[in-house]
Each structure stands twice: as structure tokens, then as C-alpha cells.
Structure 1
Amino acid sequence: MLKHSLYATKILALLILFSYPLHAAQNTTDDWADDGWGDDEAVSPWKISGFIEGAYGHFTQNQTQINSLSESENLYSNSRSNSPLKEVRARINVNYSTLHFDITAKGELLFDQVLNNNKFLVRELNIQASPFDFLDIKIGKQVLTWGTADYLFINDLFPKDWQSFFSGRDDEYLKAPSNSVKTSWFINDYTLDVVWTPEFTEDNFIRGERFSFYSPQLQQQIAPESFTYQEPNDEQWFTRLSTTQQGVEYALYGYKGRWTTPEGINSSQLPYFPKMNSVGASIRAPLYKGLFNAEIVNYNSIENTEAYHSNTYFTPHSQQRFLIGYETELIKNVTLNTQYYVEHTKNYSQLANSYAYPEQLKDKNRQLLTARLTIRALQQTLVYSIFTFYSPTDHDGYLKSSISYRQDDHWLYSVGANIFWGKEDFTFFGQHQKNSNIWAKVRYQF
């Protein structure tokens, strides 16, 4: 970690060193234009904002006790809270902007009664500069995202917070921060983004303390009090080459790292994050009265080879993923977004022959349909949103709905629900049926 910190510090020093003379040289051409006689007030480089929010959620079903595999091992908790969301959050956003660089800081005090944990969180803390006309650099804790899909992330492998997503927190919190260095290179009509994360940042995945989940090893729903897994400490690389030609957006993606959730089981029977690389592409273009988008990606699960089998119990197989989507305004202030997604698992017969419970495997070509309906009323201060996931192959689904009302520039009220259903309790959404919940939030912004 120290090595990476020193490296980032050197980059930051060079960034400021290069950016200062370039901007200073650009400003010398304006020396005669500014004669000091202007009456305009100086604009402060500081911008400060924030909010205070209270949120409460409640499970729609009673949370049954989860028995442990062995009382002596004490691996699993036998108690659950009736609420997945019970918190007060205070956020402060600070931005300092100069001709040479921008500094962004977002910090939060979180009083979380579900986990009985009060803590200070750094959401963002980074510096950004443009040392050359063709280069932007951003260093520090930042929230990163790309791709074209709605709630489906196939080329976007930046960390996600699924506990926030399923509990009713604002959509902003679905995207988790990481300590990264991002460079954007501008070459004619093309932009090359390269992101380096020195230490692997996994998703905040479902692990038991807030929501239960299905364990294939134990063949039951569990809620671990402490979920033990093998943590990697290696780096991640993300790349994107994008351009817009005649109103059509094109992009190519690359990733080198690991699966962002613990998809594998090592020889010690611990979940871990197998190594994985990916290559993909996307397109977004106007079509008829709406916007069409498509993405494709190939996940290369490089540990699924004979060379690794002595060190692992199970590693995921390589996959190809594909989606198409379309968004249109049905009538004024009513928008519909639909998507079709396919997840193809390679060498499926080999996987089915080696898997302990082949009847619980997802289909070779798992399919998913989504639809989002958004209605805005009262001069767009009242927003209804309904998002539905449905898998015709898994026979399960997830309904995510919300109603929000903005009273004025300060007060915002929201209510909503996360409803899961499924034919089986081991499918992706089916395992969360007892995690269905309703929630309400009040936010004061300043």
C-alpha cells in the first residue's frame, strides 16, 4: 500500500508541476485585457453543499432464524433485524476549483442502526487537472462508471454496492468508490480512458449482515454474522476507447483483474475472487422516436484451467454477455426503457458434469428482461418510477419502485419498495424473496 501511495504522490506532484506553467502561459495573453477597472466581484473558488437524510426500511416478511452449519464453528448468525435500512446520514460536499486543478471532497457521517455502527465515510477525495490540452488526470478516491445499460453492468466492472441497491438507498450509492488513477487522452475525435486501481476493490456484495442469501454448499438460506473470504490485493486495469460519429456513440472496453464478487471456492473451502479479463463493445444511437443501445462482452475466466485446479475447488466458467435496449418518451413526461439481456456460459456441459448440484445451475443461456416506466408530474417535482427485472429462464424477478416529491430546493421525500419473487430459492432473484422490503426517506439539502 505504501508503494502505491508513494507512486500516486509522485504522479500528483508532476501533475501540478506540469499544469501550472501551461495554464500560466495561457493566462499571459490576457494581461492587457484585464486593466483592473472592472466592477465584477471575484468568484469564490469554493463550492460547499450537502444534505441530511433519514431513512427507514422494513422487511415485508418475518425473518426466520438461520441455523449454523455447526454450533461449534459459529459461522452463521441465528438472528436477523426486521429492517434492512435504519439510518441517518449527513453529507458535506466541498469543491475547490482553480485554473490549475480541481479538488473534490465528499464526506459523510453515517449513523447505521441496522449494524449498530456509527462511522465517517469518505465518498470522494480526489484532484483533477489538465496538464496538456490532450490529457486529463484524476487521482484519488472517486466514483467511476461507463457503459450504456440501465441497471445492467456488463462492461462496467467498477465496484457496485448491492446492499445499498436492495435496501432503498439513493441510486447514487449503487456506484461504490475506489482509490484510482484515471487518465483521459483526447486524440482527434477519439477519447481513450485508462483507469488504474492499485489495490483490488470488490463489490459490496450480499453477505448476510443485512440480507440473507442462498448457500450452494449448505443447500439453504443463510445470514452469516461474519462472512469469511479470501481477499486479493492485486491491481485492476480498465480501458475504454470511445468516439461519436454522426450522432452515434461507439466504445470498446477492456478489463484486467478479477471477478468483483467471490464467484470461486478455493481448496480451503473459502470464497474468493478468481482472476478474470474482459473485452467488450457498445453502441448508442437515435432510432425512430427514441434511443437504441447495445453492449457485448467476453469474460475470460483465466483460472478455469487445469493449471489452477489443484488450488481451487470451484472457479466460474468463461462467459459471453449481450444486451440490447430501447428508450422512448411515450407521451410528454412518460418515459419507457426496455432491455433484453443474455448470459451465455461456455463449456456448459463440462460445468454441469462437475457441479455437485447440476439441477441448481442457471441455464446455459440465462435470459433477463427489464422495463422501466418513469412518470413526472407537477412540473416534474413528483416522480413515479417502476423498474422490473424478469428472467424467463430462472422464473424469478425483482420489482424496484419509488415515488419521490421535491417540495422545494431543500426538502425531498421518497417512498418505495424492493419486491423479489421466484419459483426456486436458489436462483438469482428467487433467493431474496424474504428480503423484500418497503422504505421511506426524508432529505434536507443545503
Structure 2
Amino acid sequence: MLDIAEELSRWLDEGRDFAVATVVAVSGSAPRGPGAALAVDADGTAIGSVSGGCVEGAVYDLCAQALQDGQAVRERFGYSDEDAFAVGLTCGGVLDILVTPVPAGGPDTKAIQTALSAAARREAAALARVVRGPAQLLGRALAVHPSEARGGPPRTESGGGSYEGELGGHPDLDRAVADETRALLDAGHTGTFDIARDGSHCEPDLTLFVESSVPPPRMLVFGAIDFAAALVRVGKFLGYHVTVCDARPVFATRTRFPEADDIVADWPHRYLRRTRTDSRTVVCVLTHDAKFDIPLLEAALRLPVAYVGAMGSRRTHADRDRRLRERGLTEAELTRLHSPIGLDLGARTPEETALSIAAEIVAARRGGTGLPLSGSHTPIHHDTEGCRSGAASRVGSF
């Protein structure tokens, strides 16, 4: 439900009763992944989506029923071979959906509000809910803050971080669930884990679904050129926190990049070394000037970032490759470089070029091939294939 946190947080502030349906497991091909949510309030207003339209009507009815009887329920929706018009996913996948009533002043409302408020502010937080277990525990929630959190909710662990709420089970259960949830949150993952009602991992009889909300991933665009302006717009559309950096203050201006989150006038390699990056950060080098590119790429290719791409012709790439080898970069480090940057779309304009770069970033993120779907035989929804192994299902960290 954290994907519609801003709206749901407002509903809670207004004292609205609502029910929320959340995708908690996916198998096969499905249009939306774990964490996708649809909510319905007491007036029948609906927000969000769990399937892109396939089963929305049936899920809406489940939410309305949960509002009436106050009971959480887990339902499975899949494709019906006998009747293509039956409630099901015509794309062939299976969705497990948890429907939870959230009445104003309910036992889990405060924990849910804590997680929703943090997510709406784009702060790190996670919401753990029981998706398998006794009926009286189904849907019970715990809000968890990351390891470095301090203050906030009253229950604070000695190792840092805090949680709010209680699951209604053994006293050790809340602490154990908070620890497991925090591990997923610190890694930026959404997924599930199994645990016993006494908080141990012996004979687990509960399954918890964890939604993690983390700050937006960063897109660092180096080179304040017209292609960068188009890439900023596309990056914002994809949900990145976009920074433009150029050593020339006359070009790195708010007037030229009104949609950028940050604009930095500094030498690119110097800024990269002092700024925060992580495993979700993408680095786009559009300067195609060796005095900027080489020290910048030398630094970028040695960082644990998600993507490094550099603009330039094939001749420029060959020269760049030679210079980087002379600086001691290894073969493994050089293979991380996407150069020339972007997919081959035949792009010409800045907007088309930005689209080709964004397409390559998405393909790298999701494991796509970049080939036309009409001519390939790979799964359309890569995230839903082969990502559920063992006790945990971890999805969407980049």
C-alpha cells in the first residue's frame, strides 16, 4: 500500500474508514508486482490498482466487503481456461492479494499511519503485515524504521531503528519481525519471510509481507547540454532524484534545468567522489570530453552503482577505453560501462536520445534484452520470474 501512501495518509488524517488490497505474491506473468495496491473508502471512492484492470472489479468488491464485516482476507486470482471472461488474469499470471480493513482508530491504524506518513515524505520506512497464519492475525501490521533511525515511534531497539504496533502474538514476535523487516528495509527490498509465533524460526507458522519505502534512487547527469535537459525530464518521469553537474557555472543553471532536483557547478569527478551514491544510483556521462570523462569514469566504474553510461561516438569510445586501461581499470570494471550510451532506437533529437538512454537503464534494471517483444520469447514481466526462493521473496531494490 506504500505505493499510494500520499493519498492514504491523507485519508487517515481526514478520519476516513477504508479497505486496502495489496498484491503480496505473484507467479507467472502479471502486470503489477508485490506491493501494488487498490484502496476503497466508505463512500466507494477508489484509488490505485492491483492488476492494470484485469481483476479490479472483483478486488473492489472484496474491499467493500471488508469495510462491512471488518475482516481481512487473502484471495488468489489467476487465468481461467474455461471462461476467458471469468475473473482472472488473461496474461496468464497468478496474483495473491491481501485485503485489509483500516478503520479510523483501529488496532493497526497508528502503525499503518506511521509507515504511510514516512513514505509520503519519501523517508525510509517499512510496513510488515501477516499474510498467512491464524485468522485473528491476518493483516496485523508493524511499522519499522531503518537501522539508523532515532526517536520517532516509542519502541526503539538497542541496535538503532524503531518500530510501532503489535501483531497480537508472543511478546518476542514483534521484536523478531521488526529485525527481519529492518533487514529487508536496509537493503531496499519488498518481499516475504516466514517466522514462528514465538518469534523463532523453528516450525514457522506465519508469513509476513514487507513493503519497503526508500528515498528515490539518484540519477547523476554530468554535462549541462541540451541532451541533459531532455534526460532530466525523463529521469523525473521514471521517479529518479536527478542531479545535473557541470564544471562550467554558466551552463549549470536553474534556468536551463528547471526540473532538476539539484544543480551543481563543480568538476564532475570531484563531485562524484563527495556525493552519496548507492546500488540504485545511475550515472550518465554526457560531457564526451576526455578531460572530464576519464577522471569521472575512473571513479564511477569503481563505485557499486547500478549503471554507468557515457555518450560519444564509437571512435570516442575506443579512445576512452584505451585511456581508462592506461589508468589501470580492469576488464571487469570496463565491462560495466555502457558506451556509447543508450539503446539503438535510431534516435536523433535530444528527446529521442533521452528515451534511448532511459530504455537502456530500465533494461539493465529489469533484466530486459532491449529486443522487440513481438520477436522475442522471453517473459514480458521479468521481475516476476524466478525471484522467489527460500523463505524470502525480495523484489525491486534498484
TM-score (norm 2): 0.25
Q: 1 or 2, which has the higher strand percentage?
A: 1
Q: 1 or 2, which has the higher helix percentage?
A: 2
